[in-house]
Copies of this chain bind each other. A is one copy, B any other.
Amino acid sequence: MYIKVFLKNCALSCYQRQKGLSTLRKCGTAVLGASLACAYGTTVVACKDVTFMAKTVTAEEELKRANDMRSRMELMIMEAQAEFCKALELEEDGGKKFNVDKWKRAEGGGGVTCVLQDGKVFEKAGVNISVVTGNLPPAAVAQMRSRGKNLREGVELPFFAAGISAVIHPRNPYVPTIHFNYRYFEVKDGEKVDWWFGGGTDLTPYYLDEEDAVHFHGTLKAACDRHDTSYYKKFKKWCDKYFHIPHRGESRGIGGIFFDDLDTPGQEEAFKFVTDCANSVIPSYIPIVKKHKNKMYTDNERQWQLLRRGRYVEFNLIYDRGTKFGLHTPGARFESILMSLPLNARWEYMNVPYERSREGKLTEILKNPKDWV
C-alpha cells in the first residue's frame, strides 16, 4: 500500500494503491486511477479509500509527477465523481449500478461518463468528468473578453479545462432533481496563463418541501461561509439569475449557488473552496433522497413531474451556456452533454395549475425566488 496524504483542514481524502480492484464494469479493465499521491497541503486530516469509476484521463504517472493545479483538479473531480456515484448506488437498494464510459477526445483529453438509467430510485442519473485541452477559436476568446478577460483579440489561444458535471433525475416526484458542476479553466496568451474556477449546485423540486429547501441551501451556505461570508449571498443571487427561463418568466428550480471567473483570493484558496462545494453535494442531497424516495405518489403527481421535466429540457437546450457551448464545439461528445436530459418529459399546451394547489404553490416560488437561509 502506498499512502502519501496531507490535507489541511477539511474532509478531503487520500488515495490508496488498490491494484487489481475494478469498478470499471463496462470497459472490463482494472482501475489503477486510484493509485495516486496527492500532496495538497501539510496536515493529514482524513483518509478514505477511493476507487475511481475509471482510469484517470491524464496518465497516472504524469499526475503523480506534476502535482500542479491541473493534476490536482483532475484528481479532485475523479474522486468527487466516484463518491457521488457510490452514494447514489447505495440509495438504489440493490437496484441498478452506474454504467461507466471512458472516452477520448480527438483534439486532446477525454472524460469518464457514468450513467445510471431506469433505476428503482433514479430514473436517470448522469455524472460526467472531462479533462480537455485544445485551442479556443477566436469567437470563444471574444466571449471571454466580453466577460472581462484580458486576452488578445482575433487569435486562437490554447486552453485547458477540467470539470465535473452531474444531473440526477429521480423517479419519485417527491425527490427533487439535483444538478452540480465544478470546473477549472486555463487559457494561455503568450507567456501569461489566465486561470479561474466556476461552478454551482442547484435543486429542482417538483413538490416543495420547505424543510428540504432550508437544508439544501443551508448546507451550501455553510460551505461558502467556511471560505468567505460574502459568497453565499452573491452566488445564490447569481444562481437565481442564471437558471431563469425568460419565455416562461420562471426559474428552473429553487436555485442554490452559481459562480464563474473565480480567481480570488488566490489559486489555492479558490481550489479549496471549489473542493468544499463539491464535497457538500452529498450532504446537501442524499438526506433529501432518503426522506422521500419511498413515499407513495399518484399518477397526477407523476404527470406534473414530467411536465416540469419538460421545462428542464427547455432551459438546458435553449439557454444553458454549457450545453450550447458543448453542442456547437466540433468533436464534442454529445451523449455526455445530453445525459442531463430526463428519461421522460412532457409538454401540455396551456397547463397552468390552480394557484392554491401544491403545483400552483411551487410555480409561485419559481416565479418569485425566495431566500431560504
Contact = CB atoms under 8 A, between A and B. Distances in A.
Tally of this chain's copies: 2
A289 to B, nearest CB: 20
A341 to B, nearest CB: 4
Contacts of A345: 310, 313, 344-347
A339 interface: yes
Given A248-B334, A313-B317, A317-B317, A117 B348 contact: yes
Interface string A320-342: 00001001000010110111011
Contacts of A260: none
A341 B335 contact: no
Contacts of A80: none
A354 interface: no
Contacts of A347: 124, 338, 341-343, 345
A163 interface: no
Contact of A327 (B126, B247, B337, B346): B247
Interface string A54-97: 00000000000000000000000000000000000000000000
A350 interface: yes
Interface string A347-359: 1111000000000
A348 B339 CA distance: 8
Interface in A86-128: 99, 101, 113, 115, 117, 124, 126
Contacts of A247: 327, 332, 334, 337
A1 interface: no
Nearest to A169: B347
Nearest to A341: B347
B115 A344 contact: no
Interface residues of A, number: 34
Contacts of A350: 101, 115, 335
Interface string A125-164: 0100000000000000000000000000000000000000
B117 A349 contact: yes
Nearest to A329: B247
Instruction: Give the interface centre of A101, A113, A246, A327 by most chain B CB atoms within 10 Å.
Output: A327
Interface centre among A317, A318, A345, A349 (most CB of B within 10 A): A349
Nearest to A335: B350
Contacts of A113: 349
Nearest to A314: B317
Contacts of A318: 317-318, 324, 327
24 contacts: A101-B350, A115-B350, A117-B348, A117-B349, A124-B347, A246-B327, A247-B327, A247-B334, A247-B337, A248-B334, A306-B344, A310-B341, A313-B313, A313-B345, A314-B317, A317-B317, A335-B349, A339-B349, A342-B347, A343-B347, A343-B348, A344-B345, A345-B345, A345-B347
Interface of A: 99, 101, 113, 115, 117, 124, 126, 246-248, 306, 310, 313-314, 317-318, 324, 327, 332, 334-335, 337-339, 341-350
Given A115-B349, A248-B334, 17 more contacts: A101-B350, A124-B347, A247-B327, A247-B337, A306-B344, A310-B345, A313-B345, A314-B317, A317-B317, A317-B318, A318-B327, A339-B349, A342-B347, A343-B346, A343-B348, A345-B345, A345-B347
